[in-house]
Structure 1
Amino acid sequence: EYPQNLYIPVGYYTSIVGVGRLPSDVRLGSVRVGNDISGHALNNFWRSCEGVTLTAPRSYWAVSQASPLRRMVVEKDLWLSQSEGYSSGGFFADIDVGGTLVMGTQQQWFGRNARVQTGLECWTGWNYVFVGVKGIDAEAVDRCQWAGDVPKGQRRHGWPGRISAVTETPRIAEKPYLVKDGSKWFIYVPKFVASSTAGPIEDREAGIARKLELTHEVFVATPEMTAFEINMAMQGKDGLLLTPGVYVLTEPLVVKESHFVVLGLGFATLVSPIGLSCIEVLDDLDDVRVAGLVLESGTPAGFKSAQPLLRWGLIVKPTEISPSAPGIASDIFARVGSFRHIDCTPMRVGTMLEFNANGVVVDNVWAWHADHDDCSGFDPGRHSDMASYSFMSDKSHSTHGVVVNGHFVTTYGMAIEHVAGGHMCEWNGEYGQSFFFQAELPYHTPPVAGAVSYKVNPTVLYHFATGLGIYIIGTYTAPAAIDISPFSDVRNVVTAVISGNHSQFASQICQRWESSWFTHKLLNCSAPISCSDILCWSPTVPHLNPTQLPQLVSLGFSPSTEQMLQRMPLLELLPNEQLRTASAEESALRLPSATIPTATSSKQATTTKVTTTTTTPTTPPTTKATTTKSTTMGIMTILTGGGKKHKAYENLGTLYGWFSNKKKASIKKASVSGGSKDIPDANVGSEAAERLGDRAANTITLGLIVFMTFCAVPLMCLSLHCARPPRELRPVSSRQALNEDEIDEQTQFVDI
């Protein structure tokens, strides 16, 4: 018990860590992070607090990236900004806020497995994602969406896509932590939970998978040790504890054993060997934990290539996933730039963080190409315009922030900034789920032509993401904010152009289909649904349903992944229960809510509710309420099939239209705030659907006959030499997770 009037200012590379078994074992008055000398919190990085209880009436945590709060109790109010200074993002998990959570000036934020007991207060903000946070219910979301600074007596229009609220977390393990129990020190390793969870951990003792005693089971490293010494000392141990400091490596640190734990304290910083990784996790390992590290490139920019700073797995396995628990990466912060402690040499990195193993859970990562440094004479007290200042780090090179090649990977809280050499995030693995993504485009160096912030490989058949915020500062342009496969389900996309105009994003979202099995390519780009001031927003993206395209099976997609899918959350889309309307007779396009069931057997499943937000455009369509269901689900009906009689025709017709680049059966223009958008007409007549379906069926049938006659044997021979194994796909029935008597004939499903 510390003095109640004690508050601890938390600066750069500072971690406040309570080492009791419970957060209540260490009680402080408050920790405090305020605005810096510029009057803002935009550069408040690399600080953290965990394992304590705060008792002050108000605690300030005005931060941006790489500043997590974990395993805490805040008895009163928690403010995420100070006064009116700008702040730009943060992360909390496993915390209990007894008072009000005040978002303040935060532009974006991610929170997971927490409880907010007396409400949520929003001043402004662009992109907030809460997963498994109790107290963030539909009422709180609605109140926050429509709050803000407005003249007295007027109601603000609000920003409808500000919050993505997911009521339960599908799969997670909390970060390992240090504990002093009597005279002994331990690393406590929390259990991996594959089923849905919400709120902070209630029974912490029961939630521990194993306890590693430092004296015998963990090697404690210091910065004076060489990488060779550390690697040798890791053999025969169950964990590695990296004490605070900068480790200049001459070889990568390599994790070779399952159930191994790497834990950094005080933002322990690993500088990579020239051309090599900081840390590697080998293939076929179960339940590896890597947490609390800063990874920095030590490869000079003059070199032609450099391996990822973190490489998790070396080879992508086509189907296997860990039978016990996957790997967990927690609080990993990668960077490249020019810094004084490395003699101000501009550095190079290809990919900062690369995940090749299946089933990995990524919990709070930031990949940063420095837009400022301590080698260029910049003083925030004297220089007000960082965007126009020339930095040494501008001479550094980066290609990708995060690359996901493994399957079944889930990310919570991913931020990437200023990467200029390629796609910031590139996702090639199947069955990926991303909860919160934030990207800021480079503004000192123009991005490479064609690069986007969030890229999902065109052949990916399952991908879900919610709460994606992509921002431009300055004058550079981008072809799109995100570029995804036509099967990807993406919600709440926000783009912002600061000191510019919306047209700097040529499109907000592009969908692309490219396949070696088809000569045709699909490219469908769209503008945002609505825009206001510097922000533009889209609630969801129409997408194809791969499980309803049986033609894909004949192209090498084998329906044999049932066991793996039972371990993974699946996604189901259902119509919204609530819809804000301008009047009883008018309705706008609405975003379906969703559930994420985690199947425990072929007959049982638990569900996770995704609360999404809706809005009415400034000029709502004049569709009557009696046709609301048909209109609002029109996109999904055409792309995924929603009716009974013409379901097959619509799917075949859509498949034909997309693969042959023919004009859709019917297109209408929907007036929305910020422009117009092509959407399929929900009222395509049955005759048109049948004609289009017949044409598609005839074409596909003829194509299959030709294929079987002239191509089957050559392709079979060719497939024997194909290095890339076929993807696997199991059609999943939405009804498996629901009672049949709860489903009416009007319910529309998207099975993924």
Structure 2
Amino acid sequence: MHLFHLSRTRYAFAMLIFGMCLQSGYAVSSTNSPPDFGSNVVILDPSMSASAVQSKVDSIFSQQQSNQFGSNRYAILFKPGTYNNSVNVGFYTQLLGLGQTPDAVTINGGVQVDAAWFDRDATQNFWRGAENLAVIPSSGTMKWAVAQASPLRRVHVRGSMVLDDNGWSSGGFISDSLIDNEINSGMQQQWLSRNSRWGGWKGSNWNIVFVGDDNAPSGFNWPNQSYTVIEHTPVAREKPFLTIDKKGKYSVFVPKLTNGSQGITWGNGAAAGQSIPINKFYIAKAGLDTATTINRALAKGKHLLLTPGVYKLNDTLRVTTANTIVLGLGIATLQPISGLSAMEVGDVDGVKLAGILFDAGVINSSVLLQVGPTGSSASHSENPTSLHDVFFRVGGAGVGNATVSLRINSNNVIGDDLWLWRADHGDGIGWSTNTTTNGLEVNGDNVTIYGLAVEHYHQYQTVWNGNGGAVYFYQSEAPYDVPDQASWMNGSVNGYASYKVADKVTSHQAWGVGVYCFFDTNPEVKLHSAIEVPNSNVELNGIVFHDVTTVSLGGTGEITHVIGGLGEAANPTYQVIRVGGFINDATSGIISSPK
């Protein structure tokens, strides 16, 4: 009796403490309680009323529709089930279904990106995304009118899709997605589709690339139609994604590495891969966490989940453990404030970086993200590091300075939707204000990138020093704000090529390359060549460029040659130049679209 009485007393005391915690607002832990993702992660449940869901998503969109350079960030998580809503996606907003397959979450009403805020011009619809959802558009057609840094992943559109809003759009990306009916690219200037399927494709413009897609266009005639088709994806890993199980437990699912793939990963059910419980992650929050707290967690072997926000870093984040996952939600943003790099990754196997915007600070950083230290030499072919939806910005939201945005020293790295941007509009911009040298520098061997956009840096946009590199879709613009020709000379040569393959390189290939100029500060400026390769008097049959387009946008400035001294000029007279490809051999001859 005494023991029973004591147990009852302890139980009553525990219940008293429980009640006091609830009344005072303290969280009471439970094995089924959701992780604390912070206030900018909105979790929706199909049991909620449609009006409550609509009110929440509309409120976020009203803040973010035109908030191009603001600091607000949002991730909207949909638990499995059906939602009778129409969801507009604004800046720094990410929609994430939490099922094991896209069809576990259905948005019956639609998901869309339009450009009403910018007079139907979608060329500035950046920094947003949707993943792991099924969409039933009420009109029958899903509108996804976007530019760079606005990926669609693991989406099932039960209808058709259009990629513009009756105006220009520029530089979208889709992967691992199924569109039941037709995609119409409209006035989308350039686009990459990887490992996806649709009922049909309509439209083409400057640079449309298909890699590992089930139903890519066929029977076309380059250069009359700007389609570049690669039947199989050589090596890829889909982006990690957040899931929830029937017990309410969260995990991050990491799809397995694939070789020679075609089509979607989830066609026969859940994709192959590994599920990692959320308790293996350190959940960071902007404004609370610092480089010190995050590095402490990384040093203990924790994975890292960056909840939405802008993280001001006075030290470098160091990822040194193999297979570490760093997953950002809601376009989580890392900004160095002391002149150091924002992140450095060790020369280790299998690191996955995903969903992160690196934003340069006022004090110049020599590099924003470095993958592998200088001199990295290990092979990672069995388990490469991969970068998914990783973006870089120098200026735009304010003054920013960075010598190089991304440096890849490790071998076998996979890039999967990368945009490196020295801002051409917004705040803190100008030839001597948001200063840079190069966007991307690749020193590792056998680096593969799907969807690479590099724009407006002061010298070479991309410098490739490693062997065995491969790029599938390249989009680049020279700096708009060159004050005069004398300010932009590479020795005695007019300007810096966008894509520089170093003289020591003996093997490199690129498919679907688009380089553009718009010298609006001084239209008399000329760029000698879009692409620069090793000297033509050396026989290097392993360097091949397939399906290259150069454009003088609106005839504002000139790209005199396509590659080296070859190819016609894109200028006010002939604004678009297309060639099938180039092989850099002893004769440096132009050939017809090598495959």
Q: Fold match, TM over 0.5?
A: yes
Residue 24 of structure 1 is aligned with which of 73, 80, 103? 103
In the TM superposition, structure 1's runs of 4+ consecutive aligned residues that sit over 4 Å from their partners are 1-5, 203-206, 391-394, 529-533
**Who is 2:194 aligned against?**
112
Give distance in 2, aligned partners of 1:544 and 1:222. Answer: 53
1:482 aligned onto 2:531: yes
**Who is 1:136 aligned against?**
216
Give distance in 1, aligned partners of 2:323 and 2:395. Answer: 33
Question: C-alpha offsets along residues 223-268 of structure 1, whole Å, 9 cap, x if unaligned?
Answer: 1211101110223334100000000001111111101100000000
User: Cα 1:114–1:417, aligned 2, differ >3 Å: closer, same or farther?
Assistant: same
Aligned counterparts, 1:578-593, within 5 A: 591=592, 593=594
Give distance in 2, aligned partners of 1:404 and 1:395. Answer: 26
**Who is 2:133 aligned against?**
52
Contact kept, 8 Å, 2:123 with 2:147, in 1: the verdict is yes
**Who is 2:144 aligned against?**
61
Residue 480 of structure 2 is aligned with which of 439, 443, 453? 443
Q: CA RMSD in A?
A: 2.2
Contact kept, 8 Å, 1:219 with 1:237, in 2: the verdict is no
1:309 aligned onto 2:360: no
Shift of 1:205: 6.6
Aligned counterparts, 1:683-702, within 5 A: none
Residue 453 of structure 1 is aligned with which of 498, 523, 541? 498
Aligned counterparts, 1:57-456, within 5 A: 57-83=140-166, 85-117=167-199, 119-122=200-203, 124-139=204-219, 141-142=220-221, 159-160=223-224, 162-181=226-245, 182-193=247-258, 195-202=259-266, 207-215=271-279, 217-223=280-286, 224-283=288-347, 285-300=348-363, 306-318=365-377, 320-322=378-380, 324-339=382-397, 344=398, 346-374=399-427, 391=429, 395-420=433-458, 422-446=459-483, 448-450=488-490, 451-456=496-501
Shift of 1:7: 1.4
Give distance in 1, aligned partners of 2:396 and 2:164. Answer: 29
Give distance in 1, aligned partners of 2:566 and 2:586. Answer: 19
User: Cα 1:254–1:61, aligned 2, differ >3 Å: closer, same or farther?
Assistant: same
User: Cα 1:30–1:536, aligned 2, differ >3 Å: closer, same or farther?
Assistant: same
User: Cα 1:4–1:322, aligned 2, differ >3 Å: closer, same or farther?
Assistant: closer
Unaligned segments of structure 1, at least 5 residues: 146-158, 376-390, 511-524, 547-588, 595-752
Give distance in 2, aligned partners of 1:448 and 1:81. Answer: 35
Where is the helix percentage greater, Structure 1 or Structure 2? 1
Contact kept, 8 Å, 1:529 with 1:537, in 2: the verdict is no
Shift of 1:509: 0.7
Count of aligned residue pairs for this structure pair = 489
- 26-35 or 98-107: bigger deviation: 26-35
Residue 578 of structure 2 is aligned with which of 523, 527, 537? 537
Give distance in 1, aligned partners of 2:299 and 2:466. Answer: 31
Give percent identity, aligned residues only: 33
Residue 122 of structure 2 is aligned with which of 41, 45, 48? 41
Give distance in 1, aligned partners of 2:504 and 2:123. Answer: 37
Question: C-alpha offsets along residues 645-686 of structure 1, whole Å, 9 cap, x if unaligned?
Answer: xxxxxxxxxxxxxxxxxxxxxxxxxxxxxxxxxxxxxxxxxx
Question: C-alpha offsets along residues 356-376 of structure 1, whole Å, 9 cap, x if unaligned?
Answer: 00000001110111111156x
Shift of 1:207: 3.7
User: Cα 1:529–1:130, aligned 2, differ >3 Å: closer, same or farther?
Assistant: farther
Contact kept, 8 Å, 1:495 with 1:536, in 2: the verdict is yes
Give distance in 1, aligned partners of 2:262 and 2:403. Answer: 37
Contact kept, 8 Å, 1:161 with 1:492, in 2: the verdict is no
Give distance in 2, aligned partners of 1:238 and 1:67. Answer: 28
User: Cα 1:323–1:360, aligned 2, differ >3 Å: closer, same or farther?
Assistant: closer
Tell which structure's C-alpha radius of gyration is larger: 1
**Who is 2:563 aligned against?**
509
Give distance in 1, aligned partners of 2:554 and 2:430. Answer: 24
Contact kept, 8 Å, 1:337 with 1:394, in 2: the verdict is no
Paired residue type of 1:65: Q
User: Cα 1:225–1:204, aligned 2, differ >3 Å: closer, same or farther?
Assistant: farther
Give distance in 2, aligned partners of 1:357 and 1:329. Answer: 12
Contact kept, 8 Å, 2:470 with 2:510, in 1: the verdict is yes
User: TM-score, structure 2 length as denominator?
Assistant: 0.78
Give distance in 2, aligned partners of 1:464 and 1:221. Answer: 39
Paired residue type of 2:567: A
Shift of 1:539: 0.7
Where is the strand percentage greater, Structure 1 or Structure 2? 2
User: Cα 1:530–1:273, aligned 2, differ >3 Å: closer, same or farther?
Assistant: closer
**Who is 2:49 aligned against?**
none
Paired residue type of 1:94: D
User: TM-score, structure 1 length as denominator?
Assistant: 0.62
Question: C-alpha offsets along residues 584-635 of structure 1, whole Å, 9 cap, x if unaligned?
Answer: xxxxx962553xxxxxxxxxxxxxxxxxxxxxxxxxxxxxxxxxxxxxxxxx
Paired residue type of 1:321: S
